[in-house]
Amino acid sequence: SQIAKITVLPGDYIGPEIMKAGLAVLKAVSEDEFNYQIDEQPFGGAGIDQKGDPLPQATLDSAKNSDAVLLAAIGGPKWDDAPKRPEKGLLQIRQELNLFANIRPTAISQAMQKYSPIKQVEPVDFVIVRELTSGIYFGKPREIDDHHAIDTMRYTTDEIRRVARVAFEMAMKRNKHVTMVDKANVLATSNLWRRVVSDVAAEYPEVRYDNSYVDAAAMKIISAPEQFDVILTENMFGDILSDESAEITGSLGTIPSMSRGTDGPALYEPIHGSAPDIAGKGIANPLSMINSVAMMLTHTFDRPDLADQINQSVDDVIESGNVTPDLGGTASTTEVTDAIINKIRERRNAYVENDV
Ligand code: NAD
Ligand code: IPM
Ligand code: MN
């Protein structure tokens, strides 16, 4: 069969540490099952250091010619004063690949319950669909001088409609409930979102559609997260709410994401950053990266079977308490990764034995 092309962007600080873990799991689960080649490229701070640009041309070309992009994390204090910061490269690759929809799941599985800082009675399983290539991150004018600064939150109806459709399509495959989060009591952009999204909602009569102001939504994510299915929101609100949502699973270091457009490669990355505070210590949680690999196998390569092997093995390891310090454990990045790989192999051997 055809060989899958994956562009790999390890990035900065803990980026390379967790990418190594993700690739080791990909290799283990792919054995005899999935053919791929990786093209590793400098990106973010590493792009600045090696090529003088956070998104070097060769990196962008590789991404554009790939079937999927795997990114770990970029940025950090080393490049805070760079004329073009690593974060700028991230915004640029999202725009270049037209990755307007960012999907960030939050689930507290049975195995995760004991790590959650909140007490839940009902299971939690929702996704945030975050608009990713517009809003205040990209709007013009954008200026700063000694006495004032301007950022602009701007949206067009087309930008809202296409990401809204992603959310409603997703809801159709889940629990048929979309909550749009905005600040329609203050912002003009939010009012435009309400108009456009209620039109889109009318195309999906089976989906229950409601709204929440962002401040209240931040509260409900802690007090009643089980009430959400699909949260649809604009770029900056989605950034903030997704870190908050991640943390109710026990750690920001567990949550993967997918960023997609209409065609072309999707990009898979943890939602967290490069964690400079723990880099080089070998204790970064690799689950966000490993879960991103599983998401890639499902959504780009149509191998939910392989993703399941990863997910079940991750659950086994979480259940066993063999976890990194952010989840209260004492295991290293490598120990967690090796434990997951061992579980994958055990599962495979058991399957082969049952087969004969
Ligand atoms: P961060 O997400 O890197 O870290 C926040 C906290 O979470 C830190 O205490 C960190 O140690 C912890 N954490 C994050 N991931 C972890 C993991 N896998 N295992 C264990 N602990 C983990 O946020 P920050 O410190 O505000 O940002 C650091 C840099 O990362 C900044 O330059 C920021 O712009 C950048 N950033 C990049 C991305 C990305 O690459 N997509 C996302 C967010 C932030
Ligand atoms: C994220 C990050 C980025 C964002 C930054 C690094 C530009 O926080 O992926 O969530 O705000 O989108
Ligand atoms: Mn963020």
From first to last of its 356 residues, the chain has per-residue pLDDT tens of: 589 999 999 999 999 999 999 999 999 999 999 999 999 999 999 999 999 999 999 999 999 999 999 999 999 999 999 999 999 999 999 999 999 999 999 999 888 899 999 987 789 999 999 999 999 999 999 999 999 999 999 999 999 999 999 999 999 999 999 999 999 999 999 999 999 999 999 999 999 999 999 999 999 999 999 999 999 999 999 999 999 999 999 999 999 999 999 999 999 999 999 999 999 999 999 999 999 999 999 999 999 999 999 999 999 999 999 999 999 999 999 999 999 999 999 998 887 777 65
Cα 132 to ligand 2 centre (Å): 9
- Nearest atom in ligand 2 to the alpha carbon of residue 91 is 7
- DSSP of 87-121: HHHHHHHHHHTT--EEEEEEEE-GGGGGG-SS--S
Pairwise CA distance, residues 177 & 204, whole Å: 10
Q: Which residue type, as a one-letter code, is found at position 6?
A: I
pLDDT at position 270 is 98
Pairwise CA distance, residues 28 & 16, whole Å: 18
Q: Is 84 known to be catalytic?
A: no
Cα 271 to ligand 3 centre (Å): 6
Question: Based on the domain organization, do 302 and 319 belong to the same domain?
Answer: yes
- Ligand 2 contact, 308 CB (< 6 A): no
- Please tell me which residue in 39, 49, 67, 243 is annotated as part of the active site: 243
Cα 133 to ligand 3 centre (Å): 14
Q: Which residues pair with 233 in a beta bridge?
A: 130, 181
Question: Based on the domain organization, do 184 and 290 belong to the same domain?
Answer: no
- The DSSP H or E segment spanning 36 is strand 36-40
Give, using CA atoms, the residue closest to atom 26 of ligand 1.
273
The two tokens of residue 62 are 């590789």
Q: Is 243 known to be catalytic?
A: yes
- Ligand 2 contact, 87 CB (< 6 A): yes
pLDDT at position 356 is 55
185 burial class (0-12, 13-18, 19+ CB within 10 angstroms)? exposed
Give, using CA atoms, the residue closest to atom 5 of ligand 1.
275
Question: Based on the domain organization, do 35 and 3 belong to the same domain?
Answer: yes
Nearest Cα neighbor of 171 from 217, 125, 112 is 125
Q: Which CATH number belongs to the domain containing residue 170 in this structure?
A: 3.40.718.10
Domain count across the chain: 2
Cα 268 to ligand 3 centre (Å): 14
Contact by Cβ (8 Å): 218, 165: no
- Ligand 1 contact, 278 CB (< 6 A): yes
Question: Based on the domain organization, do 142 and 240 belong to the same domain?
Answer: yes
- Please tell me which residue in 12, 182, 239, 338 is annotated as part of the active site: 239
Question: Based on the domain organization, do 106 and 218 belong to the same domain?
Answer: yes
- Nearest atom in ligand 2 to the alpha carbon of residue 236 is 11
Question: Based on the domain organization, do 238 and 203 belong to the same domain?
Answer: yes
Question: Based on the domain organization, do 249 and 302 belong to the same domain?
Answer: no
Longest CA–CA separation in the chain, Å: 75
Pairwise CA distance, residues 106 & 25, whole Å: 21
Residue 165 structural domain: 100-256
pLDDT at position 349 is 87
Cα 90 to ligand 1 centre (Å): 14
Question: Based on the domain organization, do 276 and 251 belong to the same domain?
Answer: no
Residue finishing a domain among 194, 225, 256:
256
Q: Is 215 known to be catalytic?
A: yes
Question: Based on the domain organization, do 226 and 120 belong to the same domain?
Answer: yes
- Ligand 2 contact, 271 CB (< 6 A): yes
Task: Give the residue ranges of DSSP H helices in 229-303.
Answer: 235-247, 287-299
Give, using CA atoms, the residue closest to atom 36 of ligand 1.
273
Give, using CA atoms, the residue closest to atom 12 of ligand 2.
239
Question: Based on the domain organization, do 151 and 46 belong to the same domain?
Answer: no
Pairwise CA distance, residues 77 & 84, whole Å: 13
Residue finishing a domain among 256, 287, 302:
256
Would you say the ipTM is above 0.85? yes
- Ligand 2 contact, 239 CB (< 6 A): yes
Question: Based on the domain organization, do 88 and 221 belong to the same domain?
Answer: no
Nearest ligand to the CA of 130 is 2
Q: How big is the CA angle at 191 (ends 188 and 193), to the nearest 5 degrees?
A: 115
- Ligand 2 contact, 127 CB (< 6 A): no
What is the best residue among 252, 293, 333 to mutate for testing ligand 1's pocket, by most ligand atoms within 8 Å of CB? 252
Residue finishing a domain among 256, 285, 320:
256
Question: Based on the domain organization, do 110 and 87 belong to the same domain?
Answer: no
Cα 12 to ligand 2 centre (Å): 14
- Ligand 1 contact, 151 CB (< 6 A): no
